Structures are given as structure tokens and as C-alpha cells.
Amino acid sequence: MTLSSVETTPVVAAPKPERVDRIRAAAYRIRDHALTMGEVQGQGYVGQALGAADMLAAVYADQLTYRAEDPHWEGRDRFLLSTGHYAIGHYAALAEAGIVPVAELETYGSDDSRLPMSGMSTYTPGMEISGGSLGHGLTIAVGMALGLRLQGSASRVINFLSDGELDEGSTWEAAMGAHHHQLGNLTALVDINALQADGATDTVLRTEPVTEKWESFGWYTQRVDGNDVGALLAAFDNIAAVAAPVGRPSVILCDTKVGRGVPLLENREKAHFMRIEENEWQICREQLTAGYEGTASA
């Protein structure tokens, strides 16, 4: 395969049901942790955390190599959260990974907490960068992936970004750079929830056709239902099989639903930053559990 060829056909066997169930269970716990943090504040980016929980579970419970007791271990894979406002989801994943104690989630967003509302690398174990100023994550990821390769490291870099971040020119400069440097150790995960702070992505700045854009930048590009754990795992398996070995950067474009798993929140009008009333939290938890148990294949 040449570096510029486009490979979209699944190339490996479907992930085993036990593996899918294990990651779905992790995603359920991540959603549960996100509700815990949301309830502490009564509001926040809860919809994004729920929407991205399957992606985060696939990353932390299936893909990343790390040492929970030593988050700075040199041999770790790097997960870079561009979107600082998704920190609530990232903390939930870090708790699931054993890097942040579950009990600490109750401090979310409070004074002196290690878990501020926007992700800060100096505050939180396992938070590699201070995201939030959108459009920087992929540029940092490219430098990190190049640096790791120059050091002879086998570590991978995964950058989580949002559809709103595709508006940023720096993202596309980084995409060009990754292809130029043949960074097979770099994967971008884009949460396409069709939403931004000011409204629907299509109305703010249309980025479609997104798949063709990434392909034209030379990336191994797959677009999946980002709330389908089996599809996410298969996409990662494809990358390991055909993109990483030939030095091709890879992107998984993940179509997700804001508030996924909690129907009450899936249908919120103002979904970017949600206010959730005191009496609604219990309903959220019941809906989350009912939905998970209702669809569990195990």
C-alpha cells in the first residue's frame, strides 16, 4: 500500500462479543461518573461526556497502554484532550482507568479541586495538555508523535477533538504535517455531535464532507457510529492492521448523540451547556441504568 492510498474496507475480523461487552460496561460507568460530577455542579458539559463515553471507554479500557499508579511513566501512550470543556468526560474515564480516585469526582469544579471544569495538565494526573483554546490539540499531538518516534519510542498519541475544532485552521495545518512526517503513531478521534457553542455545526460553519477532507490530507480515514462500541473497536483494529505499520496517520470520525444513554438529556434544546434541575438527576440515573440493562448482550 502506498502512503496516499485510501483504505476504507474493514480488514480484520469483527471484535469478539466479550470484548465489546467489557467496553460497553466501561462506557456505562463513565456515564455514571459524569452524572456524579454534573450533579455536584447542577450543570455543565454533561451532554458531551455522555455522547463521548463510548469513545473514551474504547480508548482507556481497550487501546491505551498506561500505568495507573504512575501517570507520567515514560512508556505510556499519550491521550490528548483538545476540548478542555469535555474534561468532565475525561475525568470520568480517568476514574474508570484507576488514575483518578472515584471518590474525588465529588470535588469536580470546586475550589482547590484537582478536577477543574476545563482540563488543566498541571492539576490532574493523566491530563497531558491544557486544552480549551480550541485548535491546538492536534498541533501538539503531531509534535509529540514526531518527538516520540525520534526517541525510538513505541508509544502512540491519540488526540480527541470535536467537530467545532475542525473550524480551526491550525487543525488542518497539523493534519498536513502528520501526513508529511508519516506519523503512523498518531490517531485523531473526532466527536461529530453536529453541535457547537453557537448552534448546529452545519449552521455555524459547515465542515462536510468531512471524510473526503481527511482522506485528501492523506489520513487513513474511517467514519463510524461513535456510540457503537463494536464499530469503534473495529476501527482501531483496522488502524493497527493497515495504517500504523506503513506510517500513515489515522482518524476515526465518530458520529455521536449529545446526552447519549439518558433520553431526558438527548432531547434537551440547549445542549452545549446544560442546566439540570435537582429533581431530574434521579431520572437521569434511572434512564441510564434502564438503557444499559435493556441493551446489554451479556
Ligand X SMILES: Cc1ncc(C[n+]2csc(CCOP(=O)(O)OP(=O)(O)O)c2C)c(N)n1
Residues interacting with Mg ion, by CB under 5 A?
A: 162-164, 193, 195
181 or 272: CB nearest ligand X: 272
Q: How many CB atoms lie within 10 A of CB 294?
A: 7
Q: What is the bridge-based pairing of β-strands 186-192 and 157-162? A: parallel
**From the CB of 123, what's the least distance to ligand X, in Å?**
18
Q: C-alpha cell of 275?
A: 442546566
| Residue 187 contacts residue 157 (beta carbons within 8 Å) | yes
Contacted entry of ligand X, Mg ion, none for residue 4, CB cut-off 5 to 8 Å set by kind: none
Contacted entry of Mg ion, ligand X, none for residue 268, CB cut-off 5 to 8 Å set by kind: none
Q: C-alpha cell of 167?
A: 473550524
84 or 184: CB nearest Mg ion: 84
**From the CB of 279, what's the least distance to Mg ion, in Å?**
28
Contacted entry of Mg ion, ligand X, none for residue 32, CB cut-off 5 to 8 Å set by kind: none
Contacted entry of ligand X, Mg ion, none for residue 177, CB cut-off 5 to 8 Å set by kind: none
Q: How many CB atoms lie within 10 A of CB 252?
A: 24
**From the CB of 164, what's the least distance to Mg ion, in Å?**
5
Task: List the beta bridge partners of residue 224.
Answer: 254
Residue 80's φ and ψ, nearest 5 degrees, are: -110, 120
Contacted entry of ligand X, Mg ion, none for residue 197, CB cut-off 5 to 8 Å set by kind: ligand X
**From the CB of 9, what's the least distance to ligand X, in Å?**
29
164 or 184: CB nearest Mg ion: 164
DSSP classification of residue 244: G
Task: List the beta bridge partners of residue 160.
Answer: 81, 189
**From the CB of 188, what's the least distance to ligand X, in Å?**
14
Q: How far apart are CA 204 and CA 172, in angstroms?
A: 18
By the criterion CB under 6 A, which residues form the site for ligand X?
Answer: 48, 83, 85, 132-135, 162-164, 193, 195-197, 272
Q: Alpha carbon of 5 to those of 1, 177, 218, 246, 272: distances in Å?
A: 7, 17, 8, 11, 37
**From the CB of 62, what's the least distance to Mg ion, in Å?**
23
66 or 79: CB nearest ligand X: 79
